[in-house]
Amino acid sequence: MTTVQTYTQTAPVFKTVNTSVANKKVKFNDGNQFPIVGLGTWKAKDEDVYYSVKNALDSGYRHIDTAAAYGNEEQIGKAIKDSGIPRKELYITTKLWSNRHHDPVGAIKESLDKLQLDYVDLYLLHWPVFLNPQGTPARVPLLPNGQRDIVLDWSFVKTYSLMHDVHDLGLAKSIGVSNFSVKNMKILLAAPETKITPVVNQVELHPHLPQFALGELCAQHGIKLQAYSPLGSNGSPVLKDETLLTIAEKYGVSPATVVFSWMCRRDVIYLPKSLNKHRLASNLKSVDLSDEDVDAINRIHKTFSKRYNDQDWSPMKPFEEDE
């Protein structure tokens, strides 16, 4: 990591600007390491996702996050192949979609085919809810009343235990979960079937939803948090927050850089999305925030807190009892 120190006369602030976190890694509880920053690809399709991945890899990203449900694994596989970057330098995550909880090995093989890979670095249980594999439409089957067609007599503990095979067969170097609340995390960790502690829990996380309670529980088990929608997703008010704007001005960086620097301080892996070459590159920057500024960001959610990706899984409530 290159460090540049500057002193400006107009603003008497001694700034330490880390120009790139592309090579900064976080250590998992299974001994594997992962880059702290990765490219998020949810909602990006076709040419957009191809060029987003291609440009990200050119800018220095080595960690790409996708999921079977995003419908973009093929384009990502092509972009990875076209980049010519050796496989061992890359860190690729994909996720088990909710209609395949009974068959993680079959599902990951399909993902690997699309990605043109022999293994992924990380495989996540995307949601703790099993959708009817025979239902229609296939990806998110619905009941006549419009609710999602959920298999109610099934536990995510069973799904995660089946995911152990994915790991043992070498199809994924590490396994973990996503969208697990404090309550569900406790159930999973207490279950005798859980022989492999998840390495991460990937959740929505940003200053309006800091996930402190979940982070504390996960830390007790050596589980890292991964932040999806770290900027609060398209058009969210996160980047307009007054506290972030003030801190950004003080350090002479963008509010996005302030958010990512706060995540670096917390050792949270973050997965920003961007289709813009300039923003892709700038999202690799971070600054060393003062303790005072970190505290101020930690307090933002006390004034305004919001989950931006709130999906309706009725009658299941994956985030019940959490923030």
Q: Say how far apart CA 147 and CA 274 lie, in whole Å.
A: 32
Q: Look at residues 173, 167, 144 and name the one whose alpha carbon lies nearest to residue 32.
A: 173
- How many angstroms from the chain centroid is the CA of residue 8? 36
Closer to ligand A2P by Cβ: residue 35 or 232: 232
Counting contacts by CB under 6 A, is residue 29 touching ligand A2P? no
Chain position carrying tokens 């070459």: 277
Q: Look at residues 2, 167, 139, 173 and name the one whose alpha carbon lies nearest to residue 67.
A: 139
Sole binder of ligand A2P in the list 18, 26, 35, 40 (CB under 6 A): 40
Give me 28's structure tokens. Answer: 């998992």
In whole angstroms, how close is the CB of 184 to ligand A2P at the nearest point?
Answer: 23
Counting contacts by CB under 6 A, is residue 283 touching ligand A2P? yes
The one catalytic residue among 50, 70, 123, 228? 70
Check the CA dihedral 177-182-184-189 and report its sign.
Answer: positive
- Per-position x/- string for 211-240, each x denoting binding to ligand A2P as judged by CB under 6 A, each - no binding: ------------------xxxxxx----x-
Closer to ligand A2P by Cβ: residue 26 or 227: 227
Does residue 70 have an active-site annotation? yes
Counting contacts by CB under 6 A, is residue 56 touching ligand A2P? no
Counting contacts by CB under 6 A, is residue 256 touching ligand A2P? yes
Going by the DSSP 8-state scheme, the letter that residue 87 receives in this structure is G
Closer to ligand A2P by Cβ: residue 116 or 305: 305
Counting contacts by CB under 6 A, is residue 20 touching ligand A2P? no
Please answer whether residues 291 and 298 qualify as being in contact, where contact means their C-beta atoms are separated by less than 8 angstroms.
no
The answer to whether 126 is annotated as binding is yes
Alpha helices in 36-181 (DSSP H): 46-59, 73-83, 104-115, 156-168
Binding residues: 126
Residues with a catalytic annotation lie at 70
Binding residues for substrate: 126
* Binding footprint of ligand A2P on the chain (CB under 6 A): 40, 229-234, 239, 254, 256, 272-276, 279, 282-283
